[in-house]
Chains A and B, each alone.
Chain A
Amino acid sequence: MKVVYVNEKWCLGCHLCEYECAFANSGETDIVRALKDRVIHPRIRVEDGDGVHFAVNCRHCSDALCVKSCIAGALSRDEHGTVVIDKNKCVGCFTCVTVCPYGAIMPGADGTAAQKCTLCTENAMGEPNCVRHCINNAIVFEDRG
């Protein structure tokens, strides 16, 4: 399946993807209205350290620990293979947050449910917004088998 990959070699650590992610999932059509004076809760996070930058988001693991460990059955794999979360089922135990080896699941903005990257399938962006706006082609949307 096509997944978002990050090529560390080209990641500049600009953090633009975080803002584009937050915008994509804001439900707003204007980026300023969506993000101005807000604390953002993006589903992709750039890890920085000593000249190395790496944007991290959900790998949609084939043997996903988060799905296995979800006590409420909120996490599941849809027909395309995308690991998705049903916020109405999520009880906010955050077991998934602790088991994810990538740190790619995090509490949502209101703290009541977890959130994760679902490849912009739940918003109006069409393709993953982090990919589209990455200024150095470091984030790509590819099927690597």
Chain B
Amino acid sequence: MREGEFRDPSGCAISGVIDRSGRRMSGACMIDSIATMHDRSNGLGGGFAGYGIYPEFKDYYAFHLFYDDVISKKKTEDFIQRHFDIAFQSAIPTRETKGIGDAPILFRYFVLPDARKLESRELDEEEYVVRCVNRINTEIRGAFVFSCGKNMGIFKAVGYPEDVGRFYRLDEYEGYAWTCHGRYPTNTPGWWGGAHPFGLLDYSIVHNGEISSYDANRRYIEMFGYKCNLQTDTEVITYIVDYLRRKQKLTLQEVAKVIAASFWSTIERKPAEERAQEELLRKMFPSLLITGPFSIIFGYTGGLMALNDRLKLRSMVVAERGDRAYIASEECAIRVIEPELDYVRAPRGGEPVIFELYGGVR
């Protein structure tokens, strides 16, 4: 069975790093970081997201695809050609790695929407891309777009995350921010698309937890055109953040106050203005409150946000050293790549911690 055919809660490890000066670092550090938390994964999925890794194609949407077979590849490429201009395409480079087997066909495309089609659809560019990606993922059997942002890429597979990193040769990429994920699903799927991070445009989410609000969130967000095909927490959280941030134009701080809202009793103790805003957000988006344990790292162009559930039922620490900021499930995963830290601390439940490039986003 694949993700999407059943509901699959998982426990996990997450880690992330950003260099706020924009200096790029190789993916090797993330491999070292996640390898330290080996015990938090069980070999059934791992993955990475890197930001700033495709500077030569930074204005193009980078599509990463899994194909089960050449037929689905042919169909998909026909579709992409009809809807996009392709600047470059190639197989995604990999190396033989023990522990990673049974790989699907891995391909990437750097594309821009077909200008005429885009105009005739009267959609903004991002919405056009999202809809095309959804069509590939739901309509073409055997094809799956698992990354579609600009100047960023997601790499994931079934296996331990450190093996996945080596398989994708991430030591050969350089990015200003990285996140990664080691998966401990309570079921035994064998599908690469089910691994994390989950991405939408340049948004990526790695998540450790099992949210108890899942179906309330899913049934709500699906009203706005999203389809939770994978039935994973990460997918629904990504859509929620996308909806609130891209469509409702909330700030990340506000997004955090919706999905990990303060308790009413806490809100009542806040200064009047803050109280009014938080009350309003809870009244406006009650169905997007996420309950149950989660720790997430939300990656986007120019920044990372760390967020825990409102009760802090999953471990997560943040740390800084100079320009670099770190987020991980466990402190050891940070210390292993940066032993000397300016500080390390555990954010409170529901407290968003945002690290962005000094030059700002985009």
In the complex, are there CB atoms of A and B closer than 8 Å?
Answer: no
